[in-house]
Amino acid sequence: MMVAMRIKVFRNQDVGPVEMETAGLHRVHSTPNTTLWEDKRPAKPLEDPLDSDLWSMQGYLADPVHEAARRRNSHCADLVAGPEPNAQHWLTGLLDLDDMAEIYPERGRFLNSVCSFVLEKRALERRCQSGNVPPERLASLALDCLGTEDLDDLCLEMEFKPSSRIFGVDSYPLTDTGSQSREVNLDNLDEYLRKTLEFALDEGIRKQMEAFVTGFERVFPVAWLALFNGPELSHLISGDASVSWTREELLMYTLPGRGYSPSSPTYKMLIDVLLQMNVKERRAFLRFTTGSSTLPIGGLKNLQPHIQVVRKELKDSGPYPSVNTCRHYLKLPPYDTPEELKARLMAATKEIGFYLN
CA distance from start to end of the chain: 55
Q: Would residue 326 show up in a list of annotated catalytic residues for this protein?
A: yes
pLDDT value at 60 more than 90: no
**Res. 83 pLDDT band, cuts 50 70 90:** very low
Q: What's 332's domain CATH number? A: 3.30.2410.10
Higher pLDDT, 280 or 130: 280
296 cis-preceded (ω within 30 degrees of 0): no
pLDDT for 303 equals 92
Query: What's the total number of domains in the chain?
Result: 3
Residues 196 and 257 placed together within one structural domain of the fold: no
Higher pLDDT, 33 or 241: 241
pLDDT value at 329 more than 90: yes
Higher pLDDT, 192 or 318: 192
Q: Is residue 199 part of a domain?
A: yes
pLDDT for 94 equals 84
Residues 211 and 66 placed together within one structural domain of the fold: yes
Residues 254 and 123 placed together within one structural domain of the fold: no
User: Which one of 76, 115, 155, 326 is the catalytic residue?
Assistant: 326
DSSP state of 39: E
Residues 275 and 209 placed together within one structural domain of the fold: no
Burial 131-141 (b: 16+ CB within 10 A, else e): eebeeeebeeb
pLDDT for 65 equals 38
**Three-class secondary structure assignment of 242-282:** CCCCCHHHHHHHEEEECCCCCCCHHHHHHHHHHHHCCHHHH
Residues 223 and 129 placed together within one structural domain of the fold: yes
Contacts of 297 by beta carbon, 8 Å cutoff, 6+ apart: 235, 236, 239, 240
- Which structural domain range is residue 23 located in? 7-39
Distance, CA of 322 to CA of 357 (rounded, Å):
5
Residues 207 and 178 placed together within one structural domain of the fold: yes
Residues 96 and 222 placed together within one structural domain of the fold: yes
Lowest mean pLDDT among 47-51, 113-117, 180-184: 47-51
pLDDT for 339 equals 95
Distance, CA of 290 to CA of 306 (rounded, Å):
10
Q: What is the pLDDT of residues 226-249, one digit of tens each?
A: 888 878 888 787 777 778 899 999
Last residue in a domain, options 193, 227, 261: 227
CA-to-CA separations, 319 to 3, 75, 167, 263, in angstroms, rounded: 59, 60, 45, 22
Task: Estimate to the nearest angstrom the gap between the alpha carbon of 152 and the chain centroid.
Answer: 32
Q: Is residue 336 part of a domain?
A: yes
pLDDT for 35 equals 55
